[in-house]
Each structure stands twice: as structure tokens, then as C-alpha cells.
Amino acid sequence: MSTLPVTALQEPQPPRALQAPPHPLREAWAYFAENRGALTGLLIIAALVLVALGADLLAPHGSNEQFRSALLQPPAWTSGGNWSFVLGTDPLGRDILSRIIYGSRYSLLIGMVVVVLATTVGTLLGLVAGYVGGLFESLIMRLMDILLAIPSLLLAIVVVAILGPGLTNAMLAIAVVYMPQFTRLARASVIAELQREYVTASRVAGAGPLRLMFVTILPNCLAPLIVQGALTFSNAILDAAALGFLGLGAQPPIPEWGTMLADARDYITSAWWAVTFPGLAILVTVLAVNIMGDGLRDAFDPAMRRS
Amino acid sequence: MFRFVLHRLALIVPTVFGLTVVAFGLVRLIPGDPVRVMAGIHGVSPERHAELMHQYGFDLPLWQQYLGFLNGLLHGDLGTSLITRSSVLSDFFSRFPATVELSLVALLLALFIGLPAGMIAAVKRGSLFDHAVMGAALTGYSMPIFWWGLLLIVFFSGYLGWTPVSGRMDAWFFIQPITGFMLMDTLLQGETDAFWSAVRHLVLPAVALATIPLAVIARQTRSAMLEVLGQDYVRTARAKGLAPWRVVGLHALRNALVPVITVTGLQVGLLFAGAILTETIFSWPGVGKWLVEAVYRRDYPSVQGGVLLVALMVMLVNLSVDLMYGLIDPRIRHRRS
């Protein structure tokens, strides 16, 4: 009796259940944007993408243009330097700055191709293995265990030895190496999600296996996969550079950063710049991706959030 | 505990079996003909080619080749190198101590610096030290170690001239291998000059190889420590008036160590991947360099045997970490068995 006048006085409010919670991605972005380090990482990557896209405009010289009168020219600010070759030239007289600028295309390409390949194939296998179970699951997971037992770079080297050296084969090899982690993550999440009520509800409502796997379950497993994707991106760049350095990745004269290091290796004591700058480019790129990956992990992992 | 050990061992059997299939299969996929590789640029007559193919069993169906491989494996025979013509197993184990020595020194270096750094960073959370350590750790974690190794050579060997560029020891020393670890062998034979030569050769590769594990261990120690420091029993220890170093160093550290040990164990696989690069840069005569050279030379049996042995070692280390984990933390033992 006494409650009637009170409700009449208040503004009409929708029941709690009708208030939409913030979209999970929007919420994660809010946490991510608070993290200054992660934003810096994102900005560096954005800048790199711009450099890669605008390489033709930005690079002072062509990536394979040789200046035979200026072999192993030191950087501009040191004695003997020349401002037309800001970071100096390599043993073949090519401008190092221009090669680094063009090289950013390869590193970003490698990162993206590997992440896309490893994520789609790895997640698909894990999703199906977790959903189907039984013999298929055992077979897939044992195979992944075996791949995980072989050190990543060694496996990549062997796969490249099978396929033959080259940029495309190096990317394939690295994708194979990082696939098992996605399979494991996806399988673990699927098994956890399968027992949730919303999955049962969807099943009772008549959803088929494909709909259950891809529409109902997959979106709820994405967070760890996205974080792993960022980690894989940086590892792929590192491993591709390592393969290039060992002469098994991108082949000269491609200005891939690891390959540039291999070209300059014999001159380390006489021309430090030819070794220093390509490596620095690798370090900055990988560092930016890793900082961003840390930010993503904090943003997606509720346990890490400051409440 | 016994059941736990048995359970873990049983799990590893199918994986090892699968590993032999993968190692065998991978190498058979390499295009090109092994006999032609052996013959080199001189080529080989068709009759001799057929004869050699038969002699090495390359003309048999694949499953028979695999059974032969498995049979040899069970008798401790991993085949013969196509290049050195000596047994793969002895080639591997003659280089193995060099890799183990390098990796152990690197791992110890990483633990001795990484553990205290991570602990102090956690205790002084948010301080300048914390930010510096975490920044350095993230940089170390992102470091392309082949480049880092080259920089170390440029600075310490080239510019300062403190350390040699490559190898394990100056060539004029002759040390009879006893343990295979140069640091120990030189001391056992009382050759102090040789010992210091070995140390100077070891420093740079060990620092290069330690970088990534160091970063991982520091980060893991810090986050494990932070988690433990927030728990009730730590507050109780503080409340009853224990000295701060006792609370952190004994009560908290003991529980924080569990995830750190796991992560350290998992570094062994990574450490080997790093050893491939480090050994190549510093011409360290270990397994990593040997394997890369075997790949370059298309020495199939060596690649096959090497991959198999390395993967086995990594699995054994992971297994012992798992077992150690069960030993330290009874909850794990009981949950799984």
C-alpha cells in the first residue's frame, strides 16, 4: 500500500536487465586507452604502417640503388659522413636509411601473414578438436605437443630446409611453428565454454554444430586469442629476421632487416652503422608490438584490471 | 607421488613415438636425392647411384625405411652422417657438452640477476627501480639476439678488445676432455691460464644467450611476487612483527617460486633456439651450430637425429619441471592423480 506513492514520484526507469552492458570490445578499449605505454606502442606501429605505405615518397634513394663512389660511407653526423646518406651506406654502396624504410614493408607483411595463417588454421583446429573431442581431439593435440617440443627456431629452420629458402617459405614455416599455441588456447576455451548455460540454451533452441562453434562459442573465446596474436606478431618478425640472418629467409637483395644484418656481418669491426641500424629497426618494431600486447592482455584480462 | 610420476611418464610415450614419425617424415620431405648430395659436384654414375641408394636403403618403401629407422633407434643407432661419415649420435654428443655449458652459464646468469631484480621491483612497486627493471625486461624480451650478439662483439671485442670474437678457447691450449665442460676440465687439470681463456671466450655468448630468459624470469618473478604479497598469510607474517626481509625472502618467495620454476623450465626450449643463433654468431662449437650446418649441407641423417635428440631433451626437461612442480606444490600432485 505504502509503496505506491513512492514509485509514482520517481522518474520511470527501465528494469535493470534491459540496460545494455557496455560492449566487451568497447570496455577493453577503455582500459587499453588508459595505458600510456600501450598507446605509445600503438602509435609507433601506426607510424611504421605509414612509413611502409609511403616508402616510395619517404626513402631518399631506391632500395637497391648502388653508389659505387660511396661504399661503406659512415652516418652523416660522424666525420666523413655525407647528408645524402643519413645512416651511411652498406658494403655495396646502398643507402641504409632507404633500405630500412623499404624493409618495414617486409617486416609488417611477415607479421601479418604469419598471424593470419597461424590464427585461422590454429584456432579452427582447436575449435573443432574441443567441440568434437574423442580420437580427433587426441590426434590433433598430440601432434601439437610434438610440434611444441621442438624449439621454434629449429622447427622453422627444418621446415625452410624442406621448402627451400625464401621469404614465402619462411613465413609458412613460422606460421606452422606458432600454430599449436592457438590450437591449445582455442581448445581450452571451447571446453570451458561448452559447459556454460548459454551454449546449452542455444543447443536446445536447435542450433547446429557449425552455428554453435562459430557463432555461439567462438566470439566468447576471442580475448586470449587476440593477446596471443599480438605476441605472435612480434615473434614472427624476430624469427623471420633470424632466418634472414642465417641466410634461410628473404634472399638478397631484398632489404629485409635480418638479411641486411647478414650482408653487413663481415664488416662489424669496420662499419658499425651497417650492423647497428637494421637491428635497431627490428628492436623498435618488436618492442612496440610487445608493449601493445601487454596493454591488450591487461585490457582483456579482468583479473589484471584495477577495479 | 609414485602414481603421479607414472601418469606423467605414460603421457609422454605417445608423444615420443609421434616425434619419431615427425622427425622421420620431415626429413623425407626434403626435396633432392641424398646420394647426389653425398656425391657433391662430381656427380655419380647411374649404376653407382642405384648401388648407393640400395646400400643406404633409400630404395625401400617408406614404411620399411621408417621401421628400419625405429629399429636402429631402439639399438641406439641414429644413422651415419652423409658428410663426416661418423655416427650421428657420437657427432651429437661430442658437441652437446659445449651447448650445455653455455646454456647452464646463461641460465644461472639469468636466475642470479632476474630473481632479485624481479623481487625488488615487486616490493618497491611503482618506484623508479620498478619502472627501470620492467622497461629493461621488456627491451630484453624484444631483443633480436643475433643483433645483440653482434653489438657485443663490436663493442667488447672490436672497440675495447677485451674478449675474443669466436670459439671456446685459445688455440694453443690443449685440454683433454674429462667432463666436456671447459670451465671444469681446465680447473681439474690445474691449467689456470686455460681456464681464464675459456672464461673470456664464454662471457659474451653467455650474456647474449641469457638476455631473453633474464627478461622473462624478472617479469615472472615480479608478477608472482605481487600476487603472493597481497595474500593473508603475508599480512599475518607482517602483523606478527617479522623483519621485512624475512617476510619477503622466506614466506613470500617460497610460494612465488612455483610459477618462476615453471617458466624457467619452459625457457630451456627457447634457450636452445637462442643457442642456434648465439653459437652461429660466436662460432661456438655446440649442437646448434652443428645442426644449422647440417641443414646447409643437406645432411639428412644428422638433421633427423639432431631434431629428434633436441626435442627429446626439451621434453625430458619439461617433464622433470612438471615432476618438480608436483614435489613443491602438493595441490598439483593430488589434483591430477
Count of alpha carbons within 13 angstroms of residue B148, beta-carbon side:
21
The string of pLDDT tens digits covering residues A118-171 is 999 999 999 999 888 889 988 898 888 888 888 888 888 888 888 888 899 899
**Cell numbers placing B155:** 663493442
Residue A149 forms contact with B (CB below 8 Å): yes
Q: How far apart are CA A191 and CA A209, in angstroms?
A: 14
- pLDDT at position A16 is 57
- 3-state class of B178 per DSSP? coil
- pLDDT at position A110 is 92
Nearest to A257 by CA among A97, A112, A118, A66: A97
Does A157 sit within 8 Å of B295, measured CB to CB? yes
Nearest to A117 by CA among A170, A74, A63, A75: A170
- pLDDT at position B332 is 64
ipTM: 0.84
Nearest to B328 by CA among B245, B232, B248, B264: B264
Which residue of B30, B145, B147 to mutate against A (max A Cβ within 10 Å)?
Answer: B147
**Cell numbers placing A268:** 662489424
* DSSP-based helix, strand, coil % in chain B, nearest 5: 80, 0, 20
Q: How far apart are CA A61 and CA A65, in angstroms?
A: 7
Chain B residues in contact with A290 by the CB 8 A cut-off are 138, 141-142
Q: Which residues have CB under 8 Å from B248's CB, separation 6+?
A: B119, B123, B225, B229
| CATH class of this structure's domain A28-56+70-304 | mainly alpha
The string of pLDDT tens digits covering residues B43-67 is 777 887 788 777 777 777 888 888 8
Chain A residues in contact with B22 by the CB 8 A cut-off are 143, 146-147, 150
Percent of chain B having pLDDT more than 90? 19
Residue B93 forms contact with A (CB below 8 Å): no
Domain boundaries, chain A: 28-56+70-304
The string of pLDDT tens digits covering residues B227-271 is 888 888 888 888 888 888 888 877 888 888 878 887 787 777 778
Does B314 sit within 8 Å of A150, measured CB to CB? yes
